[in-house]
Amino acid sequence: MISETDLLAKVPTKLLIGGEWVPSTSGRAIEVHDPSTGLVIATIADASPEDGLEALAAASDAQKSWASTAPRKRGEILRGAFDLLQERADEFALLMTLEMGKPLAEARGEVTYGGEFLRWFSEEAVRISGRYGVNPEGTGRMIVTQLPVGPSYLITPWNFPLAMATRKISPALAAGCTAVVKPAELTPLTTLYFAQLLMDAGLPAGVLNVITTSTSGEVSEPIIADPRLRKLSFTGSTPVGRTLLKQASENVLRTSMELGGNAPFIVFEDADLDAAVDGAMLAKFRNIGQACTAANRFIVHESVADAFAARLVARVESLKVGRGTEDGVAIGPLINDKAVDKAAALVDDAVARGAVLETGGSRIEGSGSFYRPTVLSGVTAGSDILREEIFGPVVTIVPFTDEADAVAKANDTEYGLVSYVFTRDLARGQRLIETLETGMMGLNVGVVSNAAAPFGGMKQSGVGREGGLEGIHEYLETKYVLTPDPFA
């Protein structure tokens, strides 16, 4: 295994524009921290708005030749990147643990998950298809074809530094779009290292450009306003998504928005409780609770709520907390102290409103941003924690009386990303597929993400889908052509 110092020395620290690693014109730098220690692990370029427009210019210049590159060739470059990622899997996993804090085993899982988007879209690049047919009147021929949308701006969050990048980059490149990628300021290193991997896999200069910045708004606005940009794809919080949608409306840009969540996790009285607890541990504690898909509200039938809480508390108390590189650690740090403050405030508010603190409920003093895995039962309506994304290792249990009550509670949110349901009743499961207002659902499972599936939300959780057969269409325009009857 490579040492942390040797790995960090290999990661590019400049901006990738037109196939070259270039310094920022701002002359400023961003310090990247290890959230488990608070120490600086890298110093990288801090792009100015001018750098952002240079990156867009490079993407725009490369668009024509990339769009006309054979789909098979585009697919082979993505497949080559997938193979290289397997070779460098340990390095990418360690890098994510260092900049984001997740336990190494989970970081390895993200390399697998993130890599699957490269493989999936390497296979989809050659399946972009159209239609040809006689019009209903019989007077002409109708042709429907799919063309790349064009230069795309891809903005990613800090919580899944690799997978959120590959989930956008892979379909964009497969479709024949060039791109500018802007990772989060908190975790830019994985994207920089991944961009180098894509170049090593043979990606031509300018097809993918990377900017890192501490002034996201100032740098992004001119890019979004520029007529050369044709597509904006964003993953992040709903408030920032709203701002970007407004900006994108000026040029009527194509947009994909993967936004926040407030996932309900419903346990019915007939559920296999062991399976429900296993599912709950995954749905809640993966990524230290910092996932848009994290179960935010455990809605449990009143007859099993105590038993569910007791089993969960036993499991939660056995979780080892520490730096993600240490053996056996299941819970790393939160991304920063602000995130710890937020989790603490939400827990304190819930307790003040009558929730019972079953375990945890406090920050861990010392270096790093750690919060104890926590279980709250009997959380009362009106508590902030039921409305906001917790983004931390906190379980909230709310009892319900019957199916209608469970569905009403689950849907009582402006979000609609994912829901989880545990029941042995098939008909009930089928009813909930139709009554729960979420874009995805786990029926007796605690994780749904898969590169082959359309990931995305309803309501204020977003617009569009990433992955699956749907994912590449976010980067394709449909063109319809009518020609006269060639026999007339």
Per rule CB under 6 A, is residue 256 in the interface with ligand NAP? no
Nearer to ligand NAP, 235 or 325 (CB): 235
Active-site position among 292, 358, 389, 466 = 292
Q: Measuring CA to CA, how many Å separate 248 from each of 26, 167, 221, 234? A: 26, 21, 9, 11
| Interface stretch with ligand NAP, choices 102-110, 135-143, 231-239, 272-280 (CB under 6 A) | 231-239
**Is 292 a catalytic site residue?**
yes
- x/- string (CB under 6 A) for ligand NAP, residues 86-105? --------------------
- x/- string (CB under 6 A) for ligand NAP, residues 138-177? -----------------xxxxxx---x-------------
Per rule CB under 6 A, is residue 112 in the interface with ligand NAP? no
Q: Measuring CA to CA, how many Å separate 134 from each of 129, 141, 145, 227? A: 17, 5, 15, 36
Per rule CB under 6 A, is residue 321 in the interface with ligand NAP? no
In angstroms, give the least distance from the CB of 187 to ligand NAP: 8
Task: Supply the DSSP symbol for 54.
Answer: H
Nearer to ligand NAP, 16 or 77 (CB): 16
Among 389, 399, 420, 475, binds ligand NAP (CB under 6 A): 389
- 174: closest CA among 426, 464, 473, 441? 473
Per rule CB under 6 A, is residue 51 in the interface with ligand NAP? no
Question: Exposed, middle or buried, 447 (CB in 10 Å: 0-12/13-18/19+)?
Answer: middle
Nearer to ligand NAP, 262 or 377 (CB): 262
Nearer to ligand NAP, 77 or 179 (CB): 179
Per rule CB under 6 A, is residue 116 in the interface with ligand NAP? no
Task: Supply the DSSP symbol for 204.
Answer: P
Phi, psi of 12 (to 5 degrees): -60, 150
Task: Tell me how many degrees the CA angle 318-319-323 measures, rounded to the nearest 5.
Answer: 145
By three-state DSSP, how is residue 83 classified? helix
Quote the radius of gyration of the chain (alpha carbons, Å): 23
In angstroms, give the least distance from the CB of 156 to ligand NAP: 6
Per rule CB under 6 A, is residue 414 in the interface with ligand NAP? no
Per rule CB under 6 A, is residue 261 in the interface with ligand NAP? yes
DSSP letter string, 466-484: BSHHHHGGGGEEEEEEEEE
Query: What sign has the CA pseudo-torsion 11, 15, 19, 25?
Result: negative
| Interface stretch with ligand NAP, choices 2-10, 36-44, 229-237, 318-326 (CB under 6 A) | 229-237
Per rule CB under 6 A, is residue 417 in the interface with ligand NAP? yes
Per rule CB under 6 A, is residue 185 in the interface with ligand NAP? yes
Whether residue 12 contacts residue 192, with contact meaning beta carbons closer than 8 Å, is answered with yes
Per rule CB under 6 A, is residue 468 in the interface with ligand NAP? no
Per rule CB under 6 A, is residue 451 in the interface with ligand NAP? no
Per rule CB under 6 A, is residue 216 in the interface with ligand NAP? yes
**Is 258 a catalytic site residue?**
yes
Active-site position among 54, 258, 389, 466 = 258
Per rule CB under 6 A, is residue 462 in the interface with ligand NAP? yes
Whether residue 303 contacts residue 361, with contact meaning beta carbons closer than 8 Å, is answered with no
In angstroms, give the least distance from the CB of 413 to ligand NAP: 13
Question: Exposed, middle or buried, 83 (CB in 10 Å: 0-12/13-18/19+)?
Answer: middle
Per rule CB under 6 A, is residue 49 in the interface with ligand NAP? no
Number of residues that bind ligand NAP (CB under 6 A): 29
Per rule CB under 6 A, is residue 258 in the interface with ligand NAP? yes
Six-digit token pair at 390? 């917790």
Whether residue 23 contacts residue 45, with contact meaning beta carbons closer than 8 Å, is answered with yes
Letter string b/e over residues 382-391, b meaning 16 or more CB atoms within 10 A of that residue's CB: ebebbebbbb
Residues assigned a catalytic role: 258, 292
**Interface contacts to ligand NAP, rule CB under 6 A:** 155-160, 164, 182, 184-186, 216-217, 220, 235-237, 240, 243-244, 258-261, 292, 389, 417, 457, 462
